[in-house]
Structure 1
């Protein structure tokens, strides 16, 4: 029987490595072995001194939609430390009280997808954390991801926060580089492996049916807009914006697809505020293939205030395309679609984001109160109003005003607005 390498690098008198790491379902010993086997920096530290303590805390607040995240700190003597992060499926689904539910299955599928992607990108020089180890669910546990820690040095703008123009513009280059590198992985192992179930196949229908009437109470323009363009709410139109037009332009790329303001980390300044410097993309649970301008639109539309979005909208397609051209040159390759097509693809992505953004006012207004919250809600209302206005212009620009659902299930507009008619 082989000797456990941790026996010689952990101070057994002060560290109980056979206790559980929070509610992950894994022993500290098991997690440390995976880190030790896959991280040369940790092995180097262990050669200089033993691990004298292990501390951890849940940094997802125990409220992760599909995952729970722990920051783990290793102590080597008094002065030297090393931090890393452990991510597992959401704790309410780690120890299910009863038979497996549909949500349990969704959590497992989301984790499985993220594990595949972590293992695909771990050796790429792109804007992602270092992934030391990623394992899917098996007989030993629910699965986990061991990765680089950015908890104390990063921040986000939040899903409905207010991003700056510089943050939006600064994302174009790393996103283009990421998309390029994924296209140039030998044999493109992601091809056909990730089926979208969030942005195209109607998972938002129940959310929309509940929130859309509430949003319309804050933004009356929503009802007029949806009455005029009912296809906006169909999965078929989302598919057209995200995948079909991209395929026509030979522009089907691998997408993060859920790069909202909470999944994009930026560096913190010394004073603790969030800077304009992108640090890492996280949470790969809903990745898919499609329109390469979708990722940047998914960040910009919910986060940028209306004036900021209108400032950066004319700039983003060119910034992204220029960066993509440079990234392709490093592979002695050329971008497979034109600059003009990039502009159209961004416009289509913006329209699809308008569909998702129709629920923003209700989502924010129902989670808070008071004068500050009232002002934040007013900003989100303006975001929605100007997205609607600009989507009307895009529909006319590309002669899409009479677009109709092609085979997709039509949404019942009267049902959605029955609460306010």
Structure 2
């Protein structure tokens, strides 16, 4: 069924540690590389990577399975932007490599806190606590669970994952070993705007995924992934403070924030939006990606390297949870579309998603389990949540923005400010209109 899966669907607890000497004692490939070379300060070795590739990566086996390996280099492709993990691109050179291009690359994602304080500085009040580390550990293990429990039943574009290793805090590091998607697509950043056509393609994939979740008979995931993005509420107050520091044009931002600060900082609203609202509206939950913004979507590229409208892969599933069918759509269009494009999409968003899911369910001889009114209401609630979470993404993006051209950086800042203003305007409209009851409940 699945078009892209874990190659061998393996979750490894003891992948190479016990067998670290096996590979060297059975070196039938003519490798000259030191298998025990560690990837920086991490426990994983080059031997671990080579063994995983030769056992699980079908592409590597087909193209290079019998070639000896002479060298390896690696670097963190996230460049500090992934504050919950580092993502190593590992390049292997062969004994008989004919040129500098005759190499093979693979990706190892390792959770940790190395990049945390590059983004959240201690001086700003962002302290790394043991509970935070436990949460990061849980998020990594959730992503491992996605690739072992859920990816096999889905037909949406996903990266091929070769091995996953649970992070057992204090005992062993965790990791996800996967294919390098660099040649297949590109991500967009917070300052870029997805187009109407790109969003429509995302909706098609989400409708298919939701159908497959709703019709899955085994439901091995049921009740296992309930946390969602509640952790975001912990960072929000400091992010709001930083936003106001950076804000060159205080109004109308200050007025909106003062008006809704109590509401935005009320963790009970986060719980309501992510969990209770579904029950209140009678909405059957699906698996939500939980962090579907431009950095976690790889778009296909053309021969010129230009981004197109089709999806190459949905990546970074550590925030996955049982949630609303509108959760991911709201995150994407609130945080990775300009206000103008988001408003254009919203005109027929519910109709579009409803028709896509209806078509998918009818293929199984089933009726769609939602009404348009249910979808409209839960989208409005999710939009409010994402308008709030936008302040966190603003902080992350401004802190990690490495643009050196001051003029371009200023333009990026202006894009972010305008997007934030449009989100605040529409949040205000809803909380004084259709969703006023929520403001009265959580903001007074």
Any idea what SS the aligned residue of 2:159 has? coil
Match of 1:244 in 2: 276
- Structure 2: gaps (5+ residues): 1-17, 117-127
Range that drifts further, 74-83 or 346-355: 74-83
Kept after mapping to 2: 8 A contact 1:252/1:290 = yes
Q: Quote how far apart the aligned CAs of 1:34 are.
A: 2.7
Separation in structure 1 between the aligned mates of residue 103 and residue 216 of structure 2, nearest angstrom: 35
Range that drifts further, 309-318 or 257-266: 309-318
Distance 1:23 1:320, change over 3 A: farther
Match of 1:112 in 2: 141
Question: Which residue of the other structure, out of 32, 35, 39, is the alignment partner of 2:57?
Answer: 39
Any idea what SS the aligned residue of 2:365 has? coil
Separation in structure 2 between the aligned mates of residue 402 and residue 184 of structure 1, nearest angstrom: 32
Kept after mapping to 2: 8 A contact 1:20/1:27 = yes
Range that drifts further, 265-274 or 365-374: 365-374
How does the TM-score come out when normalised to structure 1? 0.83
Any idea what SS the aligned residue of 1:31 has? helix
Q: Quote how far apart the aligned CAs of 1:254 are.
A: 1.3
Separation in structure 2 between the aligned mates of residue 144 and residue 318 of structure 1, nearest angstrom: 40
Separation in structure 2 between the aligned mates of residue 383 and residue 403 of structure 1, nearest angstrom: 22
Any idea what SS the aligned residue of 2:255 has? helix
Does residue 133 (structure 1) correspond to residue 163 (structure 2)? The answer is yes
How does the TM-score come out when normalised to structure 2? 0.79
Match of 1:346 in 2: 379
Kept after mapping to 2: 8 A contact 1:66/1:90 = yes
Does residue 68 (structure 1) correspond to residue 86 (structure 2)? The answer is yes
Match of 1:198 in 2: 229
Any idea what SS the aligned residue of 2:234 has? coil
Kept after mapping to 2: 8 A contact 1:200/1:236 = no
Q: Quote how far apart the aligned CAs of 1:400 are.
A: 2.3
Kept after mapping to 1: 8 A contact 2:203/2:329 = yes
Kept after mapping to 2: 8 A contact 1:160/1:261 = no
Separation in structure 1 between the aligned mates of residue 413 and residue 80 of structure 2, nearest angstrom: 26
Distance 1:181 1:312, change over 3 A: same
Distance 1:295 1:376, change over 3 A: same
Separation in structure 1 between the aligned mates of residue 217 and residue 233 of structure 2, nearest angstrom: 33
Alignment of 1:6-405 (within 5 A): 7-12=26-31, 14-45=32-63, 49-58=66-75, 59-61=77-79, 64-74=82-92, 77-78=96-97, 82-90=104-112, 92=114, 101-123=130-152, 124-137=154-167, 141-196=172-227, 198-199=229-230, 202-214=233-245, 218-229=249-260, 230-247=262-279, 248-358=281-391, 370-401=406-437, 403-405=439-441
Q: Quote how far apart the aligned CAs of 1:146 are.
A: 1.3
Separation in structure 2 between the aligned mates of residue 171 and residue 146 of structure 1, nearest angstrom: 25
Kept after mapping to 2: 8 A contact 1:252/1:291 = yes
Distance 1:358 1:142, change over 3 A: closer
Distance 1:263 1:9, change over 3 A: farther
Distance 1:375 1:74, change over 3 A: closer
- Structure 1: gaps (5+ residues): 412-421
Q: Quote how far apart the aligned CAs of 1:245 are.
A: 2.5
Kept after mapping to 2: 8 A contact 1:258/1:286 = yes
Aligned-CA RMSD value: 3.3
Any idea what SS the aligned residue of 1:129 has? coil
